[in-house]
Homo-oligomer: A and B are copies of this chain.
Amino acid sequence: MIRGRILGEVWATRKAPGLNGRRLLLVAVEGEDRALVAIDTLDASEGEAVMVSVGSGARNVLAPGPDNREILCDAAVSLIVDGEG
């Protein structure tokens, strides 16, 4: 999983049908000068530290496999951090 911090939401009207109804969050990637966009089902808020799952892991956040290959999701918020150490 990738460590990141929520920057905010992304809005769009023109998008692939598979993204309809999804909450899309902009996530700053820790230690890198970039942000990614992940689907959120945990109701994460701006400023929160999160983990983002990718690949099959991302689809398994939305609906556990194996029959989830039709889900359009390459990154999903899978955890909101309470603490590390």
| A residues with CB within 8 A of B | 1-3, 7-19, 24, 26, 29-38, 41-42, 51, 53-61, 64-67, 69-76, 78-85
Known: A14-B80, A31-B35, A57-B58. 9 other contacts (CB 8 A): A1-B38, A3-B36, A8-B84, A8-B85, A12-B79, A26-B84, A60-B72, A66-B67, A66-B70
Nearest to A74 among chain B residues (CB) is: B57
The count of identical subunits is: 5
CA distance A53 to B33 in the complex (A): 19
Interface of chain A: mostly helix, strand, loop or mixed: mixed
Residues A66 and B69 in contact in the complex (CB < 8 Å), given A11-B84, A42-B16, A56-B59 = yes
